[in-house]
Structure formats: C-alpha cells, structure tokens
Amino acid sequence: MMILGSDIMGNRPKKVILVRYHDKGNINTRLPESLNKVQGVLPPLGIAYIAAFLEQNGVNVSIIDVQGLNMTSAEFAKAIEDKKPDIVAITCMTPTFHGALEAAKMCKKAGATVVLGGSHISVYPKESLQPDFVDFGIVGEGEYTLAELVDALENESDYSTIKGLAYKKDGNVIINQARIVKDIDTLPFPAYHLLPMKKYSSVIGLHPVSTMISSRGCPYRCGFCFKQPSDKVFRTRNPYSVVDEMEMLVTKHGVKEIMFYDDTITVKRSHIEGICNEILKRDLKVKWESPTRIDLVDKELLTLMKKAGCIRLRYGVESGDPRILELMNKKITIDRVQEVFALTKKVGLESFAYFIIGYATETPHTMQGTIDLAKKINPDFVMFTIATPYPQTPLHTLSVTNGLIDPDYWRKFTLGEDVGRMPYLIPDAEEWIKKAYRSFYLRPSFIFKKAKKLRSWSTFKKYCAGAWGLVRFNMLPED
C-alpha cells in the first residue's frame, strides 16, 4: 500500500475539508422533487475514500456533508468561517454544479484554496475552472491526486506534473492526464468515522444504513450513462477486504443494512461468489442489497446471494419497448426481464426496477409499454426518471442529431450562462412520469401487498411519506 513518506509530508499545519454540498441550483433534476425529498440521504463514498487516504498520509482532514447534516447555505458558510480551512475540496456532478460553485465562493471568501472534483470536472475541466474563486480541479479518481496536491501546497513545491490535476497558469487552464487507481485494494476503507452515520437513511432500507462498493467501473456502455475515464476500467476488491469492511460497519457503526453502490456487482462471478462465501464463513449477520444486470444472474447465484444476507437486487430494465432497449444499447430482452423478475421473487429476494421515460424518439406507445411492463413484472419497488442527455453520452449525440437540444447546453450551463432548464426530449414528459408513478404505486394490489409486509411503525411512516410525495407530485422545488 502506497503511503507518502513522513519526510515528504512533513508536519501538517494545513487543514483540509472535503464537502458534499446540497442540490441548490439543480434545475435539471429528472427525479420528481416530491419523491426526492423523502427517499433519504446516503453516505458520500467518494469523498469518504479521499478523506481516508489523506488521513493515512498524515493530513488533517474533515468532512462537511451538507446533505447528511441538512445544513442551510448560511450554516455551511458559518461552519467554514469557524473552521478556517486552508484547502476545501468540493465534489459535484453535472446537474449540481451550480450548487458546488456557491459553496466554492463561500470557501474562497473564507480564505481557502478551492478544489473541485467529481464527474463533471472530467467533462468540462477548463470551463469549471473559469471562476476566479476556483483554484484547482481533479480529473478522474481523487485519492492520490489530492494527497499529492496537498503535499505540494504544504511544501510550496511544483504541482504541474501531478497526474489527474487541472490548474491555472498564465491565464490558461492546464489539464493533466486523468487519474485511475488501478489497484483499489491499496485504498483504505472510507472514513466513515468522519461522517454523521446516524443521519443517513433510505425510504426502503433499515436504519442505520450505509453504502459500500466492492468494485469500480463498468464494462457496459448503456446509451444514457456518462462514463468518466475511471468508470471505463472495471476493477474489483478482494472479497476478504469487502467483508472486513462490512463487518466493521456492523460492529463500529451499528449498521443494519448495506447498500452496495457498484455499477454491477455480478460482472465477475467469482467476485460476488467470493463475497457471499466469506460472509457465510464468518456467519456475518447483516442485510445487504446491490445493483446488477438482468443478464448476469441465474438461480444458483441468486440462491447463494440470498443465503449470504442479500435482501434486494436492483435491476436496470429502463424500457418496455424492444426498439428503445436497442437504442439504449441495453443488450437485454423483454422475455429475459420477465424471467429474471419471476426468478428473483421465487428465490425470495425483493426486486427494484429502474425505468427511463421520455428517451429520444420515444412515442406514447413505447412509454405506455414501459409502464405496462413495470406492472407486469411487479417489482417490490420501482423508480421512473425522465431521460437526461448528459454530456459525452450516446443519448446526448442522438438528441443533438435530432435537433432536440443545444449541443453546447452543458458547456454554457457550466460557464454560468442563463440557459434555463434543458428541455425534455418528448412532449408532456412530466405528465408521463406522473402517470407512471401513480399507476404503479397507487394500485390497490400493490398497496395491499405492502400493507401485509408492514412490521414496524418507522416503515409505516416511510411508506406514508412516499405516498404523500406521489399525491403532491411535483418535478421541481416549490418556490
């Protein structure tokens, strides 16, 4: 495991804070705001990994999770003023970039060096560093890059050759090669002790709940999914290390449910089998769930996963129309979708299905087909989102080709131009997604099924909150 030597790191007077800010300015959300409010908040694994690596290398680091702590902008500004950090690194995604800039401005006002990271910076590094209150950007995975940058700033040494760094020089933005951690077993466990673990919750999960990853990257190329450089390289952790982390979450933080945030946990069969067998070997009692693919499970694997404590699998179905599935490059069939959901239920696992409404070239017929398929396979939970053409995705290219969006929308959005909300790709998208949610969740048969499974007052309250979100249904925050 690489650890920067103490002779290099020296004494560490610099104070570093890592930040996940709130979604302020997220005008392009495609998940209904009334449901987003009740779905819960989960730990920010990305900055927790970076914090752990910094700690391992002797850096004085802390985390402010604005979402987890439910802080206002004013409360965050005061926290930064009180803590007086030397360096603040803020994570952001494309839709939440404006919120990250608000946080960056506050941090610069407090005298900090400001670093932006996250997937958006890998797409628009030059544009992201245009504001004078942003000093650096991180392209790719941030653990080693930020540690080396802190070291360089501490020792007032050259940072121009740091891999994964974007910086300013003579009025220009210089972008170094993106950073990818090839061996993710070299990384320490995320710094959960720096997070408000008791604050995290999920509308469908037990409490306390945590997230985890057992792999990074994804070998698949779905048309709607943005892939930064590191996402294109699939890497797995040692199953023993994965279960060590699960055990630590249970014993140190009292976690009752773990939500794996791998893109697809069953890509490498020996990997997931190794995790399950190690859980069984240790007799570790914890419930867990994970995303996977329709074409990467069978009865034998599902049975082993359930035996090892898996309670729920999340499948990306996305559409109920064969033409749209092909356009999305999903490489699955409707028949296989139905088979796998029936098999998942037969094995005794809960299922969660993801669907996209309003993909480019969709028609009322194809969208109705998606709603009909959702009800036919009848998962325990479902999420519908309106298609969003993120930059550098095939969906973005398709949307531009069909004249549905401005090809430079996201660049202008990043630069702060008043471009408004990105238009939907089909008419009446909000009405369609409202119809999808209500026609699935408000069915008497679904309500009766959930009522039969109620075992606690807290679960009842969560379900009531979700139902109220469906009744009040709105896509954007109310003024």
Higher pLDDT, 28 or 96: 96
pLDDT of 470 over the 80 cut: no
Name residues whose C-beta falls within 8 Å of residue 171's C-beta, 6 or more positions apart in sequence. none
Burial class (CB in 10 A: 0-12, 13-18, 19+), 360: buried
Q: Which two tokens stand for residue 4?
A: 């920067």
- Of 285-299, 337-351, 461-475, the least confident: 461-475
pLDDT band, residue 29 (cuts 50/70/90): low
pLDDT band, residue 362 (cuts 50/70/90): very high
pLDDT of 443 over the 90 cut: no
Higher pLDDT, 453 or 166: 166
pLDDT of 1 over the 50 cut: no
Q: What's the confidence (pLDDT) of residue 387? A: 94
pTM of the shown model? 0.90
Residues, the chain: 479
Q: What's the confidence (pLDDT) of residue 445? A: 83
Encoded amino acid at 341, one letter: F
Q: What's the confidence (pLDDT) of residue 328? A: 96
Q: What's the confidence (pLDDT) of residue 10? A: 42
Query: What average pLDDT score do residues 24-37 get?
Result: 53
Tell me 140's DSSP state: B
Distance of CA 327 to the CA centre of its chain: 24
Residue where the block lists tokens 């930040």: 19
Encoded amino acid at 139, one letter: V
Q: What is the pLDDT of residues 419-429, one digit of tens each?
A: 888 899 999 99
Distance of CA 31 to the CA centre of its chain: 14
Q: What is the pLDDT of residues 196-224, one digit of tens each?
A: 999 998 888 788 999 999 999 999 999 99
Rg of the chain on CA atoms, in Å: 22
* Domain extent listing, the chain: 6-175, 201-387+424-471
Average predicted confidence (pLDDT) for the chain:
89
Three-state SS annotation for 125-137: HHHHCCCCCCCEE
Q: Are 313 and 337 in contact (CB under 8 A)?
A: no
Query: What average pLDDT score do residues 238-257 get?
Result: 97
pLDDT-above-90 percentage for the chain: 75
Torsion of the alpha carbons at 356, 362, 363 and 364, rounded to the nearest 10? 10
Q: What is the pLDDT of residues 398-415, one digit of tens each?
A: 999 999 999 999 999 888
Class of domain 6-175: alpha beta
Q: Are 145 and 179 in contact (CB under 8 A)?
A: yes
Q: Are 139 and 164 in contact (CB under 8 A)?
A: yes
Q: Are 179 and 139 in contact (CB under 8 A)?
A: yes
Q: How far apart are CA 56 and CA 73, in angstroms?
A: 30
Q: How far apart are CA 313 and CA 310, in angstroms?
A: 8
Name residues whose C-beta falls within 8 Å of residue 259's C-beta, 6 or more positions apart in sequence. 42, 202, 205, 209, 210, 211, 212, 288, 289, 290
Neighbour tally for 182: CB within 10 Å: 9
User: Which candidate, 26, 36, 31, places its Cα nearest to that of 385?
Assistant: 31
Q: What is the pLDDT of residues 123-181, one digit of tens each?
A: 899 999 999 999 999 999 999 999 999 999 999 999 999 999 999 999 899 999 999 99
Encoded amino acid at 330, one letter: K
Residue where the block lists tokens 């694997």: 301
pLDDT of 454 over the 90 cut: no
Query: What average pLDDT score do residues 44-73 get?
Result: 95
pLDDT of 249 over the 70 cut: yes
pLDDT of 103 over the 50 cut: yes
Strands 215-216, 235-236: parallel, antiparallel or unpaired by DSSP?
A: antiparallel
Q: Are 286 and 246 in contact (CB under 8 A)?
A: yes
Q: What is the pLDDT of residues 274-303, one digit of tens each?
A: 999 999 999 999 999 999 999 999 999 999
DSSP-H helix ranges across 132-262: 143-155, 239-253
b/e map 421-455, b = 16+ CB within 10 Å: ebebbbeebbebbbbbbeebbeeeebeeebeeeee
Q: What's the confidence (pLDDT) of residue 203? A: 80
- For domain 201-387+424-471, the CATH superfamily is tm_1862 like domain (3.80.30.20)
Residue where the block lists tokens 């998942």: 344
Higher pLDDT, 417 or 464: 417
Q: What's the confidence (pLDDT) of residue 456? A: 61
Strands 172-175, 235-236: parallel, antiparallel or unpaired by DSSP?
A: unpaired
User: Which candidate, 198, 174, 159, places its Cα nearest to that of 69?
Assistant: 198
Q: Are 219 and 236 in contact (CB under 8 A)?
A: no
Torsion of the alpha carbons at 398, 404, 410 and 412, rounded to the nearest 10? 140
pLDDT of 8 over the 50 cut: no
Q: What's the confidence (pLDDT) of residue 472? A: 54
Q: What's the confidence (pLDDT) of residue 471? A: 53
Write phi, then psi, for 437 (nearest 5 degrees).
Answer: -60, -50
pLDDT of 27 over the 70 cut: no
